[in-house]
Amino acid sequence: MADALVIVESPAKAKTIGKYLGSKYIVKASMGHIRDLPKSQIGVEVENDFNPKYITIRGKGSILKELKDASKKVKKVYLAADPDREGEAIAWHLAHALDLDNTQECRVVFNEITKQAVKDAFKTPRKINMDLVNAQQARRILDRLVGYKISPLLWKKVKKGLSAGRVQSVAVKIIMDRENEISAFVPTEYWSITAKLGIRDSVFEAKFHKLNGVKKELNQESDVQEVLEAIKNAAFKVSNVKEKERQRHPSAPFTTSSLQQEAARKLGFRAAKTMSVAQQLYEGVELGKEGTVGLITYMRTDSTRLSVTAQDEAKELITAKYGEKFLPEAPRQYSKKAAGAQEAHEAIRPTSALREPEMVKEFLSRDQFRLYKLVWERFVSSQMASALLDTLSVDIEAGTATFRAVGSKVSFPGFMKVYVEGNDDGTTDEDKYLPPLQAGDALNKQEIEPKQHFTQPPPRYTEARLVKTLEELGIGRPSTYAPTLETIQKRGYVAIEEKKFMPTELGELVIEQMEQFFPEILNVEFTANMEGDLDHVEEGSEDWVKVLAEFYESFEKRLVFAEEEMKEIEIEDEVSDEICEKCGKPLVYKLGRFGKFLACSGFPDCRNTKPIIKDIGVTCPKCHEGKVVERRSKKGRVFYGCDQYPGCDFVSWDRPSTKPCPSCGAWMIEKRNKQGTKLQCTSCDHTEAVLDNEEELAE
């Protein structure tokens, strides 16, 4: 007979831990929360210190019975849910449902699922931490009050089925504010002048910098003409060369937020996908003879702290693989990233740096391998020496004008040998070499290129950029980013176009009502302060009931006012020119999570829908009769196909170009990467840059 029952959240975690603990332990999964607030009612007794009325979640009755039966057959029950507020709340609910003594030391936590970490954790069980539980309860009740009090108002006044959320509403407001900035943006003209210069067998570029020794802005064409006149017959000569060595330091190991951002930039992962794959790596993967092993530490954290053991292992690996010169003078420590960061946790790192990605590749899915490799490289690089870059700044005189060329090369790669962090504007830090130059060198003028530009509006938010913004503003916490982004899409408040968020008409309408009647809910500072209050509850320095009471006092007044003053709004669908082929009624434009589509105005009697087909102005390269149109897959991904389908089955993920290949005449496609957009021939090796591409590329 087993001595103890261990309860975790998931079967995968149960399987991994069960192998480590042996036959004296029964390990079972609760499948997440077993109790929650009821869906059919608010479930909070506001007048009774916000007492929550928890019920067993529908469908969890059989799981709870199984856990109760198992608990009666053992001497001890351990609750081993995840090491955060949510995990602590799951453990507390289980203790309540199983009639466990709250004073018992039944709570077991570990930051990584490895044999040693699990065995060590079971040597030091503790009591359930009620401060953590109360912080989770306060958040849950706060979100329930906002959602269940505002939503019925929106149903009545705006549209049935609408809902409002505390953090979600702020996220939609941020997206909407950016859209308003873009709409209000007035482009400003500016120019650049680039000189292509030669010396010996090398050609390099220099940009106009000064005129008559004074830095000059090129705001209009007349400014350009003045410079061109000044250099018309001038010889180009090097006047000054500055050499400098600079250091570049590695990025800190991953937090939840930075992992989501970097996985979006480098792997194209949505936030929800990143967390799903990270969960798999954390809970354990079968590694052949080694058995089931958790490959990364807990993935919901805002700490950049590393254990001494992890640093020692990284040192061992770096020394063996790259040499001692790639080690910093002392192990790198990273200060906590955000206010309220949970320093008891570690950063996200591999459970063993010695388990290199290629060693486990055969046991992982493609997505698991790519994410593990990202975590491994980020962690190892964070413990490496800084890179050294030699930078060269060269001033070139041409008559009364000065041009400047800047270049750099890596003299010692340091951490860059393993990993370089991506960035939001898609630029890279590739070496930009300049030929050897010294003052007095005469240069051969090959080409002078003046170019007109216009300033660009701020970019729309990608998932990575929005997560970064939410974190910087103190909105939400590691566990909330991914579900927040999913929720605002499911509710139809935002749509994604080219991997960027746009507010829908519905989203704008809801935010307008919220701004008028519940401005605090949309106030970034108010929401961030509320997150701080929840952190204080977790630390034990603030009473959770007091936090809720202070919020509800003003919120209740807002509710009464909104009930009386909010006017009913009728949302009219935009009618298209197309007729439903099934019932003959007009089709109307609707906005879904992947953008606009056509739907029958006879809904719900007729549920016919059609995608909006966008002609891109290219003749089909296969049948030469149809037109290439933009379509969307069921998952919202844009692809291109012939409008004569099914007669012609041409399809392409890449956008076909209107321009034929100058080398062989075949059709070309647009290929995007972080360096820009290129046209690539589908038949020969010809590629060329897209001219005048001022567009900001996706991360």
Residues ≥6 apart with Cβ < 8 Å to 244 = 390, 391, 393
Q: Check whether 388 has a pLDDT greater than 80.
A: yes
Q: 74-88, 382-396, 676-690: which has the minimum mean pLDDT?
A: 676-690
Query: Who has greater pLDDT, 118 or 693?
Result: 118
Q: Check whether 627 has a pLDDT greater than 70.
A: yes
How far apart CA 323 and CA 384 sit, in angstroms, is 10
Q: 446-450, 478-482, 587-591: which has the minimum mean pLDDT?
A: 587-591
Query: Who has greater pLDDT, 671 or 75?
Result: 75
The alpha carbon of residue 154 and the mean position of all alpha carbons in its chain are separated, in whole angstroms, by 30
pTM score: 0.82
Mean pLDDT taken over the chain: 90
How far apart CA 254 and CA 272 sit, in angstroms, is 16
Exposure string of 523-553, with b = 16+ CB inside 10 Å and e = fewer, is ebeebbebbebbbbbbeeebebbebbeebbe
The sign one gets for the Cα dihedral 413, 418, 420, 421 is negative
How far apart CA 117 and CA 110 sit, in angstroms, is 6
Question: Tens of pLDDT along 134-153?
Answer: 999 999 999 999 999 998 98
> What is the predicted pLDDT for the residue at 340?
47
Q: CA-CA-CA-CA torsion for 276, 279, 280, 281, nearest 10 degrees?
A: 120
> What is the predicted pLDDT for the residue at 670?
87
| pLDDT band (50, 70, 90) for residue 610 | confident
458 class by beta-carbon count within 10 Å (0-12 exposed, 13-18 middle, 19+ buried): exposed
91 class by beta-carbon count within 10 Å (0-12 exposed, 13-18 middle, 19+ buried): buried
Q: Check whether 337 has a pLDDT greater than 60.
A: no
Compute the average pLDDT of residues 426-442.
77
> What is the predicted pLDDT for the residue at 499?
84
How far apart CA 287 and CA 372 sit, in angstroms, is 14
Q: What number of CA atoms fall less than 13 Å from residue 447's CA on the CB side? A: 8
Q: 208-217, 380-389, 591-600: which has the minimum mean pLDDT?
A: 591-600
Q: Check whether 534 has a pLDDT greater than 70.
A: yes
> What is the predicted pLDDT for the residue at 594?
61
> What is the predicted pLDDT for the residue at 370?
97
* CA-closest candidate to residue 285, choices 170, 211, 362, 226: 362
Query: Who has greater pLDDT, 447 or 505?
Result: 447
> What is the predicted pLDDT for the residue at 613?
79
User: Please, which residues bridge with residue 501 across strands?
Assistant: 496
Six-digit token string for 243: 């050499």
Coil, helix or strand at residue 81: coil
Stated as kind and residue range, the H or E segment containing 671 is strand 667-673
Coil, helix or strand at residue 509: helix
* CA-closest candidate to residue 477, choices 175, 85, 93: 85
Six-digit token string for 434: 């300049």
Question: What contacts 24+ positions apart, CB below 8 Å, involve 524-528?
Answer: 524/170, 524/174, 524/473, 524/475, 527/166, 527/167, 527/170, 527/474, 527/475, 528/473, 528/474, 528/475
Which residue ranges form the domains of the chain, and what is each CATH number?
4-128 (3.40.50.140), 137-184+459-565 (1.10.460.10), 189-249+387-454 (2.70.20.10), 256-382 (1.10.290.10), 574-689 (no CATH)
| pLDDT band (50, 70, 90) for residue 431 | low
Coil, helix or strand at residue 600: strand
| pLDDT band (50, 70, 90) for residue 427 | very low
| pLDDT band (50, 70, 90) for residue 699 | very low
Six-digit token string for 97: 């449902």
> What is the predicted pLDDT for the residue at 169?
94
Q: How many CB atoms lie within 10 A of CB 88?
A: 25
Q: Check whether 430 has a pLDDT greater than 80.
A: no
> What is the predicted pLDDT for the residue at 591?
63
> What is the predicted pLDDT for the residue at 136?
96
* CA-closest candidate to residue 666, choices 679, 649, 684, 678: 684
Question: Tens of pLDDT along 148-174?
Answer: 999 898 888 877 777 788 899 999 999
Using CA atoms, how far residue 267 sits from 262, 264, 279, 422, 661, in Å, is 8, 6, 17, 11, 30
Residues ≥6 apart with Cβ < 8 Å to 655 = 616, 630, 640, 669, 670
Q: Check whether 697 has a pLDDT greater than 70.
A: no
> What is the predicted pLDDT for the residue at 509?
87
> What is the predicted pLDDT for the residue at 476?
86
> What is the predicted pLDDT for the residue at 635?
63
* CA-closest candidate to residue 380, choices 420, 353, 351, 345: 353
552 is catalytic: no
Coil, helix or strand at residue 387: strand
> What is the predicted pLDDT for the residue at 162?
75
> What is the predicted pLDDT for the residue at 367?
97
How far apart CA 613 and CA 590 sit, in angstroms, is 14
Cα 95-133-535 angle, rounded to 5 deg:
165
Six-digit token string for 564: 């009386």
Compute the average pLDDT of residues 36-60.
95
Question: Tens of pLDDT along 257-299?
Answer: 999 999 999 998 999 999 999 999 999 999 998 889 999 999 9
| pLDDT band (50, 70, 90) for residue 308 | very high
Compute the average pLDDT of residues 450-474.
94
Q: Check whether 470 has a pLDDT greater than 90.
A: yes
Compute the average pLDDT of residues 407-422.
91
Question: Tens of pLDDT along 81-109?
Answer: 999 999 999 999 999 999 998 788 999 99
User: Please, which residues bridge with residue 398 across strands?
Assistant: 236, 401
How far apart CA 186 and CA 270 sit, in angstroms, is 32
Using CA atoms, how far residue 514 sits from 42, 166, 461, 507, in Å, is 20, 11, 21, 10
Q: Put residue 283 in one of left, alpha, beta given phi > 0 → left and psi -120 to 50 → alpha.
A: alpha
Compute the average pLDDT of residues 351-374.
97
Compute the average pLDDT of residues 400-407.
96
Compute the average pLDDT of residues 340-349.
71
How far apart CA 98 and CA 64 sit, in angstroms, is 8
Q: Which residue has the tokens 């990143």?
A: 274
| pLDDT band (50, 70, 90) for residue 479 | confident
The sign one gets for the Cα dihedral 664, 669, 672, 677 is positive
Q: Check whether 671 has a pLDDT greater than 70.
A: yes
> What is the predicted pLDDT for the residue at 86?
94
| pLDDT band (50, 70, 90) for residue 61 | very high
What are the φ/ψ torsions at residue 687 (nearest 5 degrees)?
A: -135, 150
Query: Who has greater pLDDT, 697 or 106?
Result: 106
Q: Which of 20, 25, 78, 298 is catalytic?
A: 298
